[in-house]
Structure 1
């Protein structure tokens, strides 16, 4: 059985690292990575350094790629920015999505290649975006367009630390499957969306949850005149797990039932580091700045309009405790700000920043994965990456599903709906 993968928004290859760890036959046949507005394409260069420079590696704007030229695949993967997915009528041109929103490139790729399975990753706020005004609209748009193209969808907001990984990183993973697959039919035969998401989801094998779901809710993406009507009027409170089959939605809030080993910051921190610049005391004023940023505060501020107000925020642990998983790592890691990790060095006891290798370990990449690029770029790449080990766990569930797919139809035989957006 073919197990071909296309990776969009590939970054430094997190999805590929996660799938390769399974050793179950997944073969990446296409990867696209392009950083807009940057002369140096460090992420793409890193990808090529590990996987080779060949025709399957694309370093151009995905919006300019002819999606029909992508090889046939069984799995499409990618992480993409959380943006405003609104659409509008555009006269004779029909319906179009907001300019620059990368979801529509994923959607166009799906329409062009019709892979039987899709695995995507996004930030946790996607489930509630764009906010109170129309909560859940953006995620609903993803469900709506995938349903139009003939897919069922499952999602799970996963905190990596809840399943033994060394970082408290919450991300939404979206698994979609074509309606002609055995897996889709298996879920249809249950006639119970709640049972499907609790006992038969792709996440269930390696990412167990407690049987009782709270905040359970049903909904639908049906009954809208067109995609513009949906964009203007859909609102729904999505919980941290759920499923969509034939326009019907079931969602609920789950808790992890993981009982394995938990990896802590202490487990991934190096015994010693050679880079003296990592230590806080090598530059005057850094310690005081970090103490202020991470401390509790309530202070009067003045807005541009002249309005005075009080800004307050709670304090956070300083330095970061080594007996817990790390906090969510951001692209600003290593700069002087509230979110940057500061730890006590094991060898000297001095306060310091994380080494790039420790950042790679937070994301479960192999040590030295981002070597060869400037240090600031290494931090940025890891702050922008995903926890590869979570992909491995989800991939194990996809492997089980693939084993039961004995008669997958090629994309050329799948009827494509004429979708305008």
Structure 2
């Protein structure tokens, strides 16, 4: 089977591309990365330095005509978590459109306008997507599922914590795969029991084995139109009806809570450290240590807001320094810089306590060493990239199983 052609949106520094192309089964034919909050497109510069400028776009995806995007088999991307509600246009012929600036609707627009639609979608987001917004738990995900169904796709999703499958970082994200109705994957989901697909036969089940532990499977339908879902789905509900894995096909939701079932090797924080190579300015001085301990420690104190209002503030302590015999905590975008912080990682070494280096942060996301190293790109910016990135190992494993499953179904057709 030939390589699958990939369009990578919201590409960052290329996590999806690395994971998929490392399987040998995928080829990125077009990519887009644009950061609205910065004049210099730092992530795009890194992307071009690693993969070349050909067929790479560094402009706002909302301004890119669909006609400029080449046909592709797989559309991938880790799109921003935003408010996915819809709005009715005055021109009824256009029907429903997403709110401007909400980038999910750029994906939707491309899928809608492409005459030759991508056969597969592979997308990633923070796991709170399944329970957003707080006033209508699960509404945003319901809108996404329904809009994909209207475009001819079946969807399976899974919340995966990379550390549960031996990877070096505790990073929990929701991944979902969508299959166009023209594919054998769509037919396979349609013909097999949903429980079987989720537990054993599906791509996520094969890539990341699960056990159900007698948790209930819940089913419900999304028959309302997008406007009704946007306005009324689960209004006032305390909990989202979407569990951490599930299938959506033909307006029907089938969902449950999966428990990881993994007995393989594990990589821990100690395994990725550059001990002996870390620059001096990553070490914490004795003068700074008191502030680090305060920020990491438990607190119960009276504070005053900017308006002069006094309030009681309390928070628990964090492990300090970070445990070396476990996977790391989740990297955040503020991981870089020398300033003491509650959330930055600090590791013990023979020379003393220090922050994590850019290479170590890359390793926690399973990127190649110095992937983000480029003239004019600061260590703080490199840390920011990794706070926004995904764990490449999850993409690679999913991509490998997806290709094998497609190949298997094509041979039995």
TM-score (norm 1): 0.91
Deviation per CA, 1:178-209: give whole Å up to 9, x if none: 1121111112112x222221122111222111
1:44 matched residue in structure 2: 44
State which of 256, 259, 269 in structure 1 corresponds to 2:263. 259
Residue number among 362, 385, 389 corresponding to 2:389 in the alignment: 385
- 2:237 paired residue number: none
CA distance in structure 1 between the partners assigned to 2:214 and 2:336 by the alignment: 39
- The answer to whether 1:76 aligns with 2:75 is yes
Contact map agreement 1:187 1:200 (CA 8 A) in 2:
no
- Residue matched to 1:31: 31
Q: Name the counterpart of 1:140.
A: 142
Tell me the CA shift for residue 405 of structure 1: 5.4
1:205 aligns with 2:209: no
Aligned length: 397
Are residue 118 (structure 1) and residue 106 (structure 2) matched? Answer: no
Asked if the contact 1:363/1:385 (under 8 Å) is kept, the reply is yes
Show the counterpart of 1:417. none
1:416 corresponds in structure 2 to: none
For the pair 1:398 / 2:402, whether they are aligned, the reply is yes
Tell me the CA shift for residue 68 of structure 1. Answer: 2.5
Question: Kindly tell me: are residues 213 and 168 of structure 1, through their superposed partners in 2, closer, same or farther at Cα, counting changes over 3 Å?
Answer: farther
TM-score for the superposition, normalised by structure 2? 0.92
Structure 2 contact 184–406 (Cα < 8 Å) conserved? no
Q: Distance in 2 between matches of 1:189 and 1:239?
A: 22
Instruction: Trace 1:4-403 onto structure 2 (pairs within 5 A).
Output: 4-24=5-25, 26-54=26-54, 56-92=55-91, 94-113=95-114, 114-131=117-134, 133-190=135-192, 192-212=193-213, 214-222=215-223, 224=224, 226-235=225-234, 236-281=240-285, 284=287, 286-303=288-305, 307-335=309-337, 336-345=340-349, 347-348=350-351, 350-372=352-374, 373-403=377-407
- Kept in 1, the 8 Å contact 2:336–2:384? The answer is no
What SS does the corresponding residue of 2:285 show, helix, strand or coil? helix
Tell me the alpha carbon deviations over residues 206-229 of structure 1, each in whole angstroms, 9 at most, x when there is no partner. 21111435253111111x2x3211
CA distance in 2, matches of 1:322, 1:308: 39
Partners of 1:220 and 1:249 within 8 A in 2: yes
Report if the CA contact (8 A) 2:197-2:205 is conserved: no
- In structure 1, the gaps of 5 or more residues are 408-421
Aligned residues of 1:356 and 1:379 also touching (Cα < 8 A): yes
- Deviations 1:240-293, CA, capped at 9 Å, x for gaps: 1111011100111111111101100000011213411101107x3x21221111
- 1:157 deviates by 0.5
